[in-house]
């Protein structure tokens, strides 16, 4: 790398943001942090600003921004503190911005990520909801503004690495037969189906391989994360639903694979550490050191693969149905899932009621086209409303409710 790149991190206090800063700290000659943004973790954001001296720090609320600004001034920092969604968009599209790490969880990060795309920036996409909820709108913007899009999810980054360097969006022309998304199967891949209704939030958040936030940990346990990744992969790689297969791989050593028509299968392997895809994307097309321990295949011993059981993981089927339906269905599914997971984490519903809620909302919501960003936010509102209505009528209905989806 011959010049310093100015990086904006949307969501710097989350796990992706923290890992991104860890990689950047190893390469001060290559990267300068232009802006850090956070939702509400003032103390961590303060520490990050003091260490990386960005030009801007953005936090959601005005009161929190004032508090942060005062602390930074007292500490001698020259960082300008801003607040609100509009300023998120402005730093993402700033003239000095080269690279944007889009790591804000959920649809909350969509506008700022699109602002970076519309400004033609290099966008490192860790926010899968941008493509799940707004796939056609988002990818049209990428094409129109010639933004460089590199996926950060370990699975999609593995696919990106396993495709030909000159891949231009045509799987057939590249000789690709199918994409193989690997999944750990989460903590309940062997639990008896009848016991899923008794799962606690702490059990669901105890991922066997990855250290993640509570929401994505629950998504891993239901395998909704893999369902959303199917939708994301379809937009990233211009793949049909039939061209994407999910394979349970408990060791999480192979992060995903691409199968070619000549019988070759190209896989990306590594220890389960998000700094690997982050470093790959930051350095692309070069390779940079990430601070990751190297994979010891002999110590790993065996690599196992299983077919996912949709009786255990009905969210996979629901995601495929939403992808096939198109329109607003994926956005509705994503919104309903956010409400369902929050309700489960707050002990308002049982674990095995999550897919019940999702199917109920998909069946009761009219599917409409996505033509512009306003349609995405309308679908999100309708999905959340449908989920809240379902919760009012169904959550905790009886002590021995067993999901017909997992029966």
End-to-end CA distance of the chain: 55
Give the integer Cα–Cα distance in Å for 376 and 334: 11
The DSSP call for residue 97 is: -
Q: The tokens of 369 are what?
A: 């086209």
Is CATH 3.40.50.10710 correct for 5-127? no
Q: Give residue 40's pLDDT.
A: 87
pLDDT, mean over the chain: 93
Domain layout of the chain by residue ranges: 5-127, 161-394
- Structurally, what CATH architecture does the domain formed by 161-394 represent? Orthogonal Bundle (1.10)
Under the banding of pLDDT at 50, 70 and 90, the label for residue 27 is: very high
Under the banding of pLDDT at 50, 70 and 90, the label for residue 75 is: very high
pLDDT tens digits for range 126-182: 988 899 999 999 999 999 999 999 999 999 999 999 999 999 999 999 999 999 999
Instruction: Say how many C-beta atoms besides its own lie within 10 A of residue 134's C-beta.
Output: 28
Say what percent of the chain tops pLDDT 90: 82
Q: The tokens of 203 are what?
A: 């059990």
Q: Give residue 206's pLDDT.
A: 79
Listed range (84-98, 156-170, 208-222) with the worst mean pLDDT: 208-222
- Strands in 176-183's sheet, in edge-to-edge order, are 244-248, 176-183, 254-260, 265-269
Largest separation between any pair of C-alpha atoms in the chain: 64
Listed range (65-69, 207-211, 322-326) with the worst mean pLDDT: 207-211
| Model confidence at 217: pLDDT above 60 | yes
Residue 239 — φ and ψ, nearest 5°? Answer: -110, 145
Q: Which residues of 320-353 are buried (b: 16+ CB within 10 A; e: fewer)?
A: bbbbeeebbbbbbbbbbbbbbbbbbbeeebbbbb
Task: State the pairing for strand pair 254-260/265-269.
Answer: antiparallel
Instruction: Say how many C-beta atoms besides its own lie within 10 A of residue 90's C-beta.
Output: 17
| Model confidence at 315: pLDDT above 50 | yes
State the number of CA atoms in the 13 A half-sphere of 273 facing the CB: 17
- Tokens 């790591």: give the residue: 103
Mean pLDDT highest for which of 135-149, 216-230, 383-397?
135-149
């Amino acid at each position: 790398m011959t010049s310093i790149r100015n990086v904006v991190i949307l969501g710097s206090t989350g796990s992706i943001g923290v890992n991104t800063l860890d990689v950047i700290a190893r390469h001060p000659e290559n990267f300068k942090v232009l802006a850090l943004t956070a939702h509400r973790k003032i103390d961590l954001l303060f520490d990050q600003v003091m260490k990386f001296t960005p030009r801007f720090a953005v936090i959601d609320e005005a009161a929190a921004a004032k508090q942060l600004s005062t602390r930074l001034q007292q500490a001698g920092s020259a960082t300008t503190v801003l607040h609100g969604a509009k300023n998120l968009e402005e730093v993402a599209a700033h003239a000095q911005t080269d690279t944007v790490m889009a790591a804000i969880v959920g649809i909350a990060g969509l506008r700022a990520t699109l602002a970076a795309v519309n400004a033609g920036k290099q966008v490192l996409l860790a926010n899968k909801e941008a493509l799940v909820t707004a796939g056609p709108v988002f990818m049209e913007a990428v094409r129109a503004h010639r933004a460089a899009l590199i996926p950060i999810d370990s699975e999609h980054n593995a696919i990106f690495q396993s495709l030909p360097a000159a891949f231009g969006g045509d799987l057939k022309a590249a000789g690709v037969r199918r994409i193989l998304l690997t999944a750990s199967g989460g903590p309940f891949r062997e639990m008896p189906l009848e016991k899923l209704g008794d799962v606690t939030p702490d059990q669901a958040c105890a991922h066997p391989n990855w250290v993640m936030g509570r929401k994505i940990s629950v998504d891993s346990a239901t395998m909704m994360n893999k369902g959303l990744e199917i939708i994301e992969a379809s937009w990233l790689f211009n793949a049909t639903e039939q061209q994407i297969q999910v394979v349970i791989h408990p060791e999480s050593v192979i992060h995903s694979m691409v199968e070619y028509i000549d019988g070759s299968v190209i896989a990306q392997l590594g220890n389960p550490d998000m700094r690997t895809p982050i470093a790959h994307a930051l350095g692309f097309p070069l390779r940079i050191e990430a601070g990751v321990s190297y994979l010891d295949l002999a110590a790993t011993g065996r690599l196992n693969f299983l077919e996912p059981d949709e009786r255990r993981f009905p969210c996979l089927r629901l995601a495929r149905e939403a992808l096939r339906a198109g329109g607003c269905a994926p956005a509705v599914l994503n919104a309903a899932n956010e409400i369902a997971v929050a309700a489960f984490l707050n002990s308002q519903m049982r674990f095995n009621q999550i897919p019940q809620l999702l199917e109920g909302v998909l069946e009761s919501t009219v599917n409409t086209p996505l033509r512009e960003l306003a349609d995405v936010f309308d679908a999100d509102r309708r999905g959340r409303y449908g989920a809240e209505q379902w919760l009012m009528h169904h959550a905790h209905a009886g002590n021995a409710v067993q999901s017909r989806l997992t029966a």
